[in-house]
Amino acid sequence: MVAVLPVSAHLNYGPMRMLLYEVAPGLTVGSAILAGDLHGVYDLLHDTIVIDRTMTYTRKRCTLVHELVHHAYGDRGHQREHRCRIVTARLLIDEQEYASAETMYEGDPWLMADELNVTVQIVLDYREWLNERGR
Ligand SMILES: [Zn+2]
């Protein structure tokens, strides 16, 4: 069972944030320059997501969905990270689109990520889920 987000994971970053103001008024989403290679963080206590402002829109979109999954499960920070990554990849990637991108680009995760408007890590996480599922 995949977590239900308050917004569609297929929206782009800007529209997703705008819609969150309407459908999830209790949740605060902000942006900042985060330390190290931290892309985003979810603070359960204050129901607040912070996204690194220096990233591309594709990476921001993937990060926001990742943090929304933590929010949906009530995780503390990056708790239960593996589940979060798999669920995030499943929300961001459509199975049919993945299959055609895989054929078109012969499984190259960088080209597939470009085609699917996600980061390479999301493609690898989705692939891991397919392998765990045993296709
Ligand atoms: Zn996480």
Q: For 55-94, give the DSSP string.
A: S-HHHHHHHHHHHHHHHHHT-STTTTHHHHHHHHHHHH--
Residues whose CB is under 5 A from ligand 1 (ion)?
78, 81, 84
Residue in 63, 52, 39 with CA at minimum distance from that of residue 122: 63
Does any domain span residue 8? no
Give the three-class secondary structure for 117. Answer: coil
pLDDT at site 112: 98
Query: What is the reported pLDDT for 54?
Result: 95
What are residue 40's DSSP bridge partners? 51
Say if 84 falls within a structural domain.
Answer: no
- Report how far ligand 1's centroid is from the alpha carbon of 75 (Å): 9
Do 99 and 69 meet the contact criterion of CB atoms below 8 Å apart?
no
Residues 70 and 108 in one domain: no
Considering the domain architecture, whether residues 18 and 61 belong to the same structural domain is answered as yes
Task: State residue 4's pLDDT score.
Answer: 84
Distance 105 CA to ligand 1 centre (A): 28
- pTM of the full predicted structure? 0.95
Whole-number pLDDT of residue 108: 98
> Is 3 among the domain residues?
no
Q: Which residue has the tokens 């944030």?
A: 17
Q: Which of 6, 12, 74, 78 is nearest to 40 (CA)?
A: 78
Domain closes at, from 30, 45, 76:
76
The Å distance, Cα 112 to ligand 1 centre, comes to 22
Distance 1 CA to ligand 1 centre (A): 18
**CA distances to 7, 51, 60, 74, 99 from 17, in Å:** 9, 11, 10, 19, 29
Overall domain count for the chain: 2
Same domain, 63 and 94: no
Whether 66 and 100 share a structural domain:
no
Domain of residue 108: give its range: 89-132
pLDDT number for residue 135: 58
The CATH number of the domain where 31 resides is what? 1.10.10.2910
Tell whether 62 and 94 lie within a shared domain. Answer: no
DSSP annotation of 38 reads -
Per-residue pLDDT tens listing for the chain (135 residues)? 677 899 999 999 999 999 999 999 999 999 999 998 899 999 999 999 999 999 999 999 999 999 999 999 999 999 999 999 999 999 999 999 999 999 999 999 999 999 999 999 999 999 999 999 875
Ligand 1 centroid from CA 134, angstroms: 24
For residues 72 and 98, membership in a common domain is answered with no
CB 70 within 8 A of CB 77: yes
Q: Is residue 81 part of a domain?
A: no
